Structure 1
């Protein structure tokens, strides 16, 4: 299995999982601002780690992760019908805080720039 094939599978799964979460899952625990950041499928296509970013407080993040974990079987079944491969991977959801971390760094940089302008 070549490196590029795994990357194409990762991107296809990312697109399909995002669509399934947005349009097909009706769980009220899942926050509206949930986005799939990255999908990392193992080389043997047995497992897929799905990194999701959730905007909101800690309670909504925990509820959304719990809702996604409970819907993992449904998402796996839908992936199997949408993406025709020999194996449909077991899905493992992980919380990704990189977007919030980037926003925090951006605010810090704005504060530094503002304080430099005040000094001048």
Structure 2
């Protein structure tokens, strides 16, 4: 059985609250899970201790058994020190789209034209 460590959403509309769970990868997001190992409340301040609560011993035990964490859970584990931080590099994410680049070029050309006169 392929297991994953992922977030299961709870809470009401516009008030998300997540449980960090270990589940079979074939189960739905909020479906059946094997074990709940923590919680995540994105509405709390980033420096709050209660924002992410994670049982590191259980998480490490599941990782040793071969459970694959999702990207968000990997970040939680890195912040807690249970995993080494991996450098992420996506150079295309910060670049503007084609139309925005064209508008910026037009603005630069307009600004350069009066300076030449």
Shared fold by TM > 0.5?
no
Identify, as 1 or 2, the structure richer in helix.
1
Using the size of structure 1 for normalisation, the TM-score is 0.30
Mark the structure with the bigger radius of gyration. 2
Using the size of structure 2 for normalisation, the TM-score is 0.31
RCO comparison, higher one (Cα < 8 Å, 6+):
1
Identify, as 1 or 2, the structure richer in strand.
2
